[in-house]
Amino acid sequence: MEDTLKDQGARARLVRELQQEGITDAAVLHAFATVPRHFFVPEFLRDHAYGGNALPIACGQTISQPFTVAYQSQLLEVRPKQKILEIGTGSGFQAAVLHAMGAHVYSVERQYDLYKEAEARFQRLRIRVAHKHGDGYLGWREFAPYDRILVTCAAPVVPEALLRQLKIGGALLVPLGEEEQRMTRIVRSGEDSFERSEYGSFQFVPMLRNKTSHVKK
């Protein structure tokens, strides 16, 4: 696949749309102007890559709609060199956006096939993101604590392990709920104190429990 003038034009148009929808963080807009989203969708959906919708990827999952990715990235208040844990690598697009914003990204995906596909994309696009196949409810202890944690699937409850892997002063962003989710930001203000705020309703694919797929190759 190539990055054609047409793709670049579609990307510039998407950036303008995101601005109209209220995305103001310059680093987020810059990331959307540079990350080639069409590399992260199935080939047959290439022409829809820069449209406003969520799109299907492998394993019955979705790449979130551009606005949702941009909105989460903005709410996260990403600064260069921050250590960010993402739960739900999926296509790898959100991780690539955070990377383009200058963060050190760690991402966990429970579906083995998606993990492998994302790996191929990161290599091909030379995006340095640490990622693993595992259960996001457990976070990624080895590299904790994190400045930011971003959950990109719908969690029924706040996973305890993620709260413990947050730096003091750090923030966790998680869509909370079953059918519809409230975008919830939790700031760890002290060892055992957390402050919660909510930002609108969204619909994500569910965060699934304890059933990582084990396809070994």
**Strand locations in 58-180 (E):** 62-63, 83-87, 104-109, 130-133, 146-151, 166-176
Binding site for ligand SAH (CB under 6 A): 61-64, 87-88, 90-91, 93-94, 108-111, 114, 135-137, 152-153, 205, 207-208
Task: Name the residue nearer to ligand SAH (CB basis): 25 or 135.
Answer: 135
CB of 211 to ligand SAH, least distance (A): 8
CB of 10 to ligand SAH, least distance (A): 18
CB of 203 to ligand SAH, least distance (A): 11
**Strand locations in the chain (E):** 55-56, 62-63, 83-87, 104-109, 130-133, 146-151, 166-176, 181-190, 193-202
Task: Name the residue nearer to ligand SAH (CB basis): 76 or 108.
Answer: 108
For residue 122, the number of C-alpha atoms closer than 13 Å in the C-beta half-sphere is 27
Q: Give me 193's structure tokens.
A: 């104190």
Catalytic residue selected from 64, 73, 91, 107: 64
Answer yes or no: are the C-beta atoms of 54 and 63 closer than 8 Å: yes
Task: Name the residue nearer to ligand SAH (CB basis): 10 or 140.
Answer: 140
Gap between the Cα atoms of 90 and 130, Å rounded: 14
Q: Give me 82's structure tokens.
A: 């921050």
Residue 197 known to be catalytic? no
Task: Name the residue nearer to ligand SAH (CB basis): 43 or 191.
Answer: 43
End-to-end CA distance of the chain: 25
CB of 136 to ligand SAH, least distance (A): 3
CB of 108 to ligand SAH, least distance (A): 5
Q: Which of 110, 108, 87 lies closest to 210, judged by CA?
A: 110
Task: Name the residue nearer to ligand SAH (CB basis): 10 or 174.
Answer: 174
Q: Kindly list the catalytic residues.
A: 64
